[in-house]
Chains A and B, each alone.
Chain A
Amino acid sequence: MLTTPTDDVARHAALVKLARVLEVDESELDFLEPLDVATLHELREQCAARLHEEDAERLGAVAAAGRLLPAGVSAAIAQRFFGPSLVARLVGLLEPERAAQQARHIDTKFMADVAARADAHVISALSAHLSLTMLQDITKVLVERDDVVTLSLFVGPLPAETIAAILEAVDDHAAVVRIAQYVEQSEALDPIVSLLPDHRVKQLLGAVRDQALSDEAVHLFAQLGDTQTSRLRRLATDVEGLSPLVRSALGVAD
């Protein structure tokens, strides 16, 4: 059973994350293509730590000053003047409960921008204090943008039940297939699939067919245990037009 995303996908995700830390377009990092994933991760962590260290005192003072203000006021100032990257750094300095209080006053699209720039541990801490509705709204924005790299950071830290509940609000049935490629904690995928109702799995398989996502689907299937593989095999017999690759991966008889 595969336990990590393929190297190409993992390298792409690492480059996207590094580009976001450096606030540059991904194409500006094409010259880093020869680096392996572990080196790119190390580089990103060093860059993020350096940027954090550079203005740590100033950011700490801003976070402390923000605690004096009503959550709505500090949230409005943060959104209007600080921009998503600085807010992502500030969120990491706040108690998650306080950050979640402020998040309730912030526009969903801006929250999606912040999530795209936040570290995985910040997303993990903050999302545990956000309402399901807010998580669903943020997810819908990220799915619309096809920002599967950011969405993948929710998988693992958030319980499978929460992820399944979030997905109920997402109309794009293949989203989970595209996200799965980028999930580093791939063992988290089987419990999520197990919580998707049968009709939802059939919709997922239909979307894989319609969006020509056979390779991506095979990657997801490779993360599933025997129980879920058998279930998908059974459900796949009700879905017409699946590619030979998908049918073969699930062991569907011709």
Chain B
Amino acid sequence: MSGTDELAAALGGPVPAGVEQLGDAAMLQLASLVDGAQARQSAQLEDAVRDGLGHVPRPLRLLVKKMLF
């Protein structure tokens, strides 16, 4: 895939016109940063949900768990 295609896939939409002037290598680098941010966010969210659930007051824990899983 070209840098434009990789970045478009990472952004989930067309690459802004001005960005293409940066060239393939820069667009691949940017795509990698966006993918990395997504992966970190998803992992952090899963960890937070799992760890946070243990601190939900017991009477509500089952209900909250059902909403989250």
User: Which residues of chain A have a CB within 8 Å of any CB of chain B?
Assistant: 21-24, 28-29, 31-32, 34-36, 38-39, 42-43, 46-47, 49-51, 53-55, 58-59, 61-62, 64-65, 68-69, 73, 76-78, 80-83, 85-86
Interface footprint category on B: 35 or more
Chain B binding surface SS class: helix
B26 contacts A81, C-beta separation under 8 Å = no
User: Which residues of chain B have a CB within 8 Å of any CB of chain A?
Assistant: 10-13, 16-19, 21-22, 26, 29-30, 33-34, 36-38, 40-42, 44-45, 47-49, 51-52, 55-57, 60, 63-64, 67-68
Q: Given the complex of chains A and B, what is the CA–CA distance between A223 and B32 in angstroms?
A: 40
Q: Which residues of B contact A61 (CB under 8 A)?
A: 67-68
B12 contacts A34, C-beta separation under 8 Å = no
- Contact pick for B33, options A28, A62, A82, CB 8 Å: A28
Q: Given A23-B37, A24-B37, A39-B18: A69 and B57 within 8 A (CB)?
A: yes
Chain A binding surface SS class: helix
B33 contacts A46, C-beta separation under 8 Å = no
Instruction: Give 19 CB contacts A-B under 8 Å.
Output: A24-B37, A28-B33, A29-B33, A32-B30, A39-B18, A46-B11, A46-B16, A49-B12, A50-B11, A50-B13, A54-B38, A54-B41, A58-B68, A59-B45, A69-B64, A73-B57, A81-B47, A85-B41, A86-B45
Q: Which residues of B contact A42 (CB under 8 A)?
A: 16, 18
B55 contacts A80, C-beta separation under 8 Å = yes
Q: Given the complex of chains A and B, what is the CA–CA distance between A80 and B52 in angstroms?
A: 8
- Contact pick for A53, options B12, B16, B37, B55, CB 8 Å: B12
Q: Given the complex of chains A and B, what is the CA–CA distance between A123 and B45 in angstroms?
A: 22
Q: Which residues of A contact B16 (CB under 8 A)?
A: 39, 42-43, 46
